[in-house]
Structure 1
Amino acid sequence: MKNGLILFLLCLILFACQENNNIDEEKERVETLKNKIVSLSDSELIDQEWDKIIVDSIRVNLASELSKYFRKAGDSSNFYKWNARFYKASSLQGNTIHTGDAYWDKASFNSARSKLDSAYYYFGKGLEIYNELDIESRKASMLYGLASVQLELKNYLGSEVLAIENLKLAESLEDLSRIYKCYNLLGIIHNNLKNYDTALDYHSKALDVARELSNDYFIILSKNNIAYLNQEHGYYDQAITVSEEALAYDDSIRFKYPAAYAKLIDNLAYSQLKAERGSSTILKTMKESRRIRDSLNDIPGLAVGDIHIAEYHIAHGNLRKAKAILLELIETTKENENAADLMTALELLGKVDSANSQKYLEERIAISDSLIDIERKTQNKFARTQYETDKVIATNQELTSEKKIIILTSSVGFLVISLIYFIVVQKTRVKKLRLEQAQDKSNEEIYKLLIAQQNSLEEGRRLEKNRMSKELHDSVLGKLFGIRFLLSSLNSMSGQETEQQREKYLKDLEETEEEIRQISHDLQDKNEVFQSSFYQIIRNFLEDQNNIYSFRIDLHMETGTVDLNVIPISHKINIFRILQESIFNIQKYAKATKACVRITVDREEKNIFLEVEDNGLGFNVKVTKKGIGLSNIEDRTKEMGGSFKIISHPSRTLIKVIIPIQNEI
């Protein structure tokens, strides 16, 4: 039987190793094929390479890798081609995690290119797959995508609903990165809704999570968002303070996060301009931000920076320079279809060039009407897509509910049988528990009797010490004093009579010496009576356990000047019972070969430490539920105002109890 089990385990290990080797080989082959296809320019050769692959898993993984590669490269043609192959290959076996990933890739690609209706549709399809597969982390990603699309479409309330749903899911997953992104998104939503306090609250929560994550980029990003929020609402002094804090947080921010650095210093300079502070460095800072954005090809950032520089020149009366910047910006924003910045540039031009202000106003009105028309068409198209997506999700939820009802119905019978079995087992356990509790109560009463006996002995010790003290004081010390006095009076005398008196007094000294010796013997005899102390009770108990159990128990007691004999009786009982329960658990569960009991005090002699350690199997402290024994240990520790801790892993389990020493000790 034993040999058969060993053989089975060996086979299992060999199979697992072989499986890992197969996975590694497949990954290498997929990477090789990907590099080969990327290097090819002839579509026919690419199709030939694809057709050669007959293993389904390799086709799925290769199409996935190429889809991601061309999505990141921004190659629309190749992305759509390989994403379609990815979806088709993954769908052959029904909806799988790869099918959802194909939707995710397509949704992200469309979102990045502002094809918001398509992005929303594919995010919704991915959510449908992940709902069916019940993959919480990927469901959260899809919800975040849907909320982001709603934000882009300025459907702030719809975006908020999805963001809060996503936040709840992220919290259930305890995923701090997702929680951060949700708080950040909600802060942006409420900033757009002009809810300053709510937006600030969400951005502050995001900053707290970023600090918990120790994520420098998230911290800097949140500080910049808070600064921008204050700037948007006219709180320029607060915006300046937060921006300066962000810049001071990390000296290397310029090199590690150049885009964030450019945004930070531009916002700082603009807030200083509005607050009329630091005028000597504002333009220099704005130009530095523009140089960085230009090197990063940050087109939207360049537009914002140019608007800020133009405003600086307007504020300082350099209208010609401002006009030149704005005219160039108008051409750039038209090329990049950046309507929002184009509208701002036209508004500023109307202030700078009063002669043509009417023309710029008319152009702004025309662009605004065009934007409203485009937005209305987009929202109508989006509404249809959203309706279809929500309908699919609702249908999927209905099917899921039906499945749950079937599973629930089929489980009821099993639960009833399990309940009957549980009741029978529980009754047996209750009966056993009552017997154990009765035994515990009996043991405790016995121990109280032992403690009472000990207290009686201690009282006898105290009385005996008092008696010996009186004996020494009244008898021995009196005699010694008298003899010393008489001897000193003979120092100035001589003669035979004097010598006789000296001999007499020396004999008295011998008698006094004998009396001291007798008192010493009496003390030794009495001390033997008092050896049955709390220390000895513990030693006796552990010696008995050593004789009973198969593992060796070592004892180490070092309590310094603290005497455990004088701690309260309730503490002695609790310490003894904790020790008893710990040794019993080692015997019952640990399969240990040795254990060690340590009773010590800290350097300041403010706490007693009771530690029970063994070299047994150990257990998972987080997973394993506390039984009655461990619960009793914890309760007894709390009764003494102490703390209780368990550290356990294979080959070592440590129960550590810390008991504060009371003033009366």
Structure 2
Amino acid sequence: MDSISLLEKSSTRDSIYMDLLFNISTEYYYLNKYDLSLKITEKALQLAKQRKDTIAIARAYFYKGDCYEYNQRDSAYYFYHQAEKLYSFKGDKEKEGQTLFKKGYLLFYEGNYLESEIQVSNALKLLQNSKNNQLLYSCYVVMGYNFEKLEEYNNALKYFHLSKTVLDELKKSNVDFEKTNNYTVNYSINIANIYDKKGEYQKSIKELSSVVSPDLKAKWPKDYASVIGNLGYSKMKFGILNGVENAFRESLQLSKQNNHQNNIMYQLINLGEYYSITKDTASSIHYLKEANALAVKLKAVGEIKSTLKLLSEIDVRNNRLYNQKYISITDSLTKAQRINRNRYARIEYETAVVENENRDLIAENLYVVTGSIAIVLLLVLLIIYRYLQHQKKEIANKRQQQKAEEEIFELLKEYQIKLAQAKELEQNRISKELHDSVMNKLYGVRLQLGMLNEGDTQEVKQKRSGYIDFLQEIEREIRSISHDLHNETFETLFDYKNLLLDIIAQHNQISNTHFSFECEDEFRWDAIDSLVKIAIYRIIQEALRNVIKYAKAKNCRVSLSDGDNKLRLWIEDDGKGFDIALLENGGIGLKNMQERATQLNASFKVMSEIGKGTTIEVVFALK
């Protein structure tokens, strides 16, 4: 019988039962069965709330944070934050410090290094007198990682050295030796990484060499692989190439045997850089491409960027492609980090708002209690209702805004892919034209001139003159192709206006109606709200579809203009039109357009007469 069944049959509600719940939750957690661990923790939380046991409630929140840590980090952050507040209220500094470290740890892996540093620094203040050396060690290491990412290398060294001090204390205790040894290796790797960043490769080589041993290879092959790989990298950077290739390959082989994906990726990068230095370009490109593919699989953004940068420097023929990918990854990362920062800041802010409003409500209740209890209850209910309605509206707006931003990003990304494909087709066409036409003509002329070179009669001279004229024709043809290449017609700007131009072009290709688009060049799209952009795109998309399907128009003009703090969309066709009185019974398309406009408080008008075409006008108020 499993633990959950056993608990469901139990009716005990004392502290022993609660401890049993937490212990079983812990066991499931270490077995990576997070759903079961969460289910048991929920039982413990409900029981703790029934008993009004603040410490147990905080513990349950902390456990819930652990359960969400690997798959829903924003939820984990929320529950750690709840646990932190309760531990702070009870004055349990060590537990409060532990929750602050957990929050900082999450922020670090989301790329919020500055915020992570603040959280872990606050944790260390609370843990000054703590005897929990493993927790202190983890705090110092994460602080070192943060300063490394912030390129404050001296501060990073300071905290890694502090972690070594705690490590020495751990060795004196009864901590499992294998874990301690791993800590020692990790310390050396961390220190060496900073030395590498500072260009002090000799120090890095000395530090890593001190932990390399047959015993390390025999007992901890995974750690040994990391050490020799890092050691080979430091030697390569220092200019010592002897034995470096073998070190990288040995590290790669051991990492594959132990399925150490991160180190496999690093050694592939190292091999790619090594072969670049030794001028083996083909091997360098091979390993860097393999490293990039693995980095994409592992979602290692830093390594994706570094491999793309190296490939752009080494693979000259595809330099432009790699640079475009690098820029795209950088832009995506910047956007993701901004969203993450806003999300975690919002969790802190909303929790503080709730706490402040609760304090205000308590003060208000105490003040009004001398009056009528009925009036107090009515006021409280009214405030709560308004607050909930406001929160609900705020959350809905934020979700809608986020969805709009994501939709625009996906549309722009799709447009960029189409643009790249079109460029490739045009380049292939020009390449084929050069090969099949120009080169064959040149070859034929060269053969004929070679045969005529031996004669000197008037007839031979006339033929040679003819071929010289033919060479001039080939020259003009090459010049024409060169002109095509020079005056490239592809628009590479990755913006919203191109997205609208693209949808106009698509509809021109699939119908007999001529669609045109008018918009001022200096139009500032970055100042327009994302929800308005999506509404404009979808309304145009729906309107053009209706023109093709029903209007039978020869021409359709789409125009955008702004003025008087308003944005005006005008869609006009010269089709067969329809009776405006039947608009209420119109199709789904018109209703969808009207709903999109109404949701953004925009005016929506349809003007049409039979035989005189149709005009749609939408006016958005700009903030």
2:190 is aligned, of 187, 203, 225, to 225
Give the equivalent residue in structure 2 for 1:134: 91
Give the corresponding residue for 2:53.
95
Q: Given the alignment of the two structures, is residue 289 of structure 1 paired with residue 246 of structure 2, yes or no?
A: no
Give the letter aligned to residue 9 of structure 2: K
Q: How does 1:352-431 map to 2 (within 5 A)?
A: 352-390=314-352
Q: Per-residue deviation at 1:49?
A: 4.4
1:37 aligns with 2:18: no
1: distance between equivalents of 2:164 and 2:357?
Answer: 39
Match of 2:261 in 1: 299
- Give the 3-state SS of the residue equivalent to 2:199 in structure 1: coil
Report 1:569-584 matches (<5 A): none
Contact 2:38 2:67 in 1 (8 A): no
Note if 1:112 corresponds to 2:70: yes
1:64 alignment partner AA? F
Which of 305, 315, 337 is residue 299 of structure 2 equivalent to? 337
Deviation at 1:54, TM superposition (A): 0.4
Asked if the contact 2:111–2:337 (Cα under 8 Å) also holds between the matched residues in 1, the reply is no
> What's the counterpart of residue 310 of structure 1?
272
Tell which structure's C-alpha radius of gyration is larger.
1
Deviation at 1:262, TM superposition (A): 2.4
SS of the residue corresponding to residue 74 of structure 1 reads coil
Identity of aligned residues (%): 24
Query: Match of 1:187?
Result: 144
Task: For 1:125-164, list aligned pairs within 5 A.
Answer: 125-164=82-121
Q: Is the 8 A contact 1:207 1:222 kept in 2?
A: yes
For 1:631, the equivalent position in structure 2 comes to none
Match in the other structure for 2:175: none
Q: Which stretch shows the higher mean deviation, 287-296 or 363-372?
A: 287-296
The whole-number CA distance in structure 1 between the counterparts of 2:258 and 2:89 is: 42
Moved over 6 A (4+): 392-399
Does residue 274 of structure 1 match 2:237? Answer: yes
Amino acid of the residue matched to residue 197 of structure 1? N
Contact 1:170-1:176 within 8 A present in 2 as well: no
1:71 aligns with 2:36: no
What aligned pairs does 1:7-22 form with structure 2 within 5 A after superposition? Answer: none
Change (3 A) 1:98 1:206: same
Structure 2 spans left out of the alignment, 5+ residues = 172-179, 362-623
**1:167 aligned to which of 103, 124, 131:** 124
CA drift at 1:396: 10
Which one of the candidate residues 73, 81, 91 is aligned to 1:124?
81
In structure 1, stretches of 5+ residues that fail to align are: 1-35, 39-45, 400-665
Q: CA deviation at 1:142?
A: 0.7
2:11 aligned counterpart, secondary structure: coil
Q: Report which stretch shifted further, 153-162 or 116-125.
A: 153-162
Shift of 1:239: 0.8
Shift of 1:348: 1.9
Is the contact made by 2:276 and 2:284 (CA closer than 8 Å) also made in structure 1?
yes
3-state secondary structure, aligned to 2:129:
helix
Q: How many residues align?
A: 353
> Using the alignment, how far apart are the partners of 2:111 and 2:244 within structure 1?
33
TM-score (structure 1 length as normaliser): 0.49
Note if contact 2:268-2:291 (Cα within 8 Å) is conserved in structure 1. Answer: yes
Q: 1:326 aligns with which of 278, 285, 288?
A: 288
Q: 1:238 aligns with which of 194, 203, 216?
A: 203
- Whole-angstrom distance in 1 between the partners of 2:267 and 2:56: 42
Equivalent residue number for residue 247 of structure 1: 212
Give the counterpart letter for 1:149 in structure 2: L
8 Å Cα contact 2:268/2:290 also seen in 1: no
Alignment RMSD: 2.9
Tell me if the contact between 2:54 and 2:86 (Cα under 8 Å) persists in the aligned partners.
yes
Residues 131-160 of structure 1: per-residue CA shift (max 9 Å, x gap): 233333222211111221232233333322
1:496-551 CA-to-partner distances (Å, cap 9, x unmatched) read: xxxxxxxxxxxxxxxxxxxxxxxxxxxxxxxxxxxxxxxxxxxxxxxxxxxxxxxx
- Checking the alignment, whether the CA contact within 8 Å between 1:124 and 1:393 is kept in structure 2 is no
The 8 Å contact of residues 167 and 178 in structure 1, kept in 2 or not, is answered as no
| 1-structure distance, mates of 2:45, 2:92 | 18
After superposition, what is the alpha-carbon deviation per residue over 1:550-592, rounded to whole angstroms, capped at 9, x for unaligned? xxxxxxxxxxxxxxxxxxxxxxxxxxxxxxxxxxxxxxxxxxx
Cα separation, partners in 2 of 1:349 and 1:392, compared to 1, 3 Å: same
- Residues 636-664 of structure 1: CA deviation (Å, up to 9, x unaligned): xxxxxxxxxxxxxxxxxxxxxxxxxxxxx
What is the 5 A alignment of 1:530-569? none
CA contact (8 A) 1:265 1:286 kept: yes
Q: What displacement does 1:272 show?
A: 0.5
2: CA distance, partners of 1:243 / 1:377:
38
Match of 2:310 among 348, 352, 372: 348
Output the CA distance in 2 between the equivalents of 1:116 and 1:152. 9
Per the TM alignment, residue 263 of structure 1 is displaced from its structure 2 partner at its CA by: 2.0
Q: Give the 5 Å matches for 1:448-527.
A: none
> What amino acid is aligned across from residue 270 of structure 1 in structure 2?
Y
Query: For residue 13 of structure 2, what is the aligned residue in structure 1?
Result: 56
Instruction: Rate the CA distance shift 1:323–1:377 in 2: closer, same or farther, 3 A.
Output: same
Are 2:25 and 2:37, in contact at CA under 8 Å, matched by a contact in 1?
yes
Deviations 1:197-222 (A, max 9, x none): 22212222222232233244333322
AA partner of residue 219 (structure 1) = T
| Aligned equivalents of 2:360, 2:219: Cα separation in 1 | 49
Residue 307 of structure 2 aligns with an amino acid whose one-letter code is A
- For residues 34 and 125 of structure 2, what CA distance do their matches in structure 1 show? 35
Give the Cα separation in 2 of the matches to 1:329 and 1:241: 28
Structure 1 CA distance for aligned equivalents of residues 249 and 63 of structure 2? 37
Conserved? CA contact 2:112–2:337, under 8 Å: no
Tell me how far 1:397 sits from its aligned partner.
11
Q: Structure 1 residues 389-398 or 376-385, which shifts more? A: 389-398
Alignment CA distance shift 1:224-1:391 (3 Å): farther
Q: Which residue of 1 aligns with 2:223?
A: 260
Q: How far has the Cα of 1:282 moved from its partner?
A: 1.3
Determine helix, strand or coil for the equivalent of 1:172.
Answer: coil
8 Å CA contact 2:48–2:56 kept in 1: the answer is yes
Q: 1:83 corresponds to which residue?
A: 41
- The letter of the residue matching 2:45 is Y
CA 288–144 in structure 1, closer or farther in 2 if over 3 Å, else same: same
**Is contact 2:61–2:80 with CA below 8 Å preserved after alignment?**
yes
Q: Does 1:209 align with 2:166?
A: yes
Shift of 1:364: 1.7
SS of the residue aligned with 2:211? Answer: helix
Contact 1:350 1:357 in 2 (8 A): yes
Residues 342 and 244 of structure 1: CA distance in aligned 2, closer, same or farther (over 3 Å): same
Shift of 1:194: 1.3
Displacement of 1:123 after TM fit? 1.1
Q: Is the 8 A contact 2:112 2:341 kept in 1?
A: no
CA distance in structure 2 between the aligned counterparts of 1:384 and 1:152, rounded to whole angstroms: 18
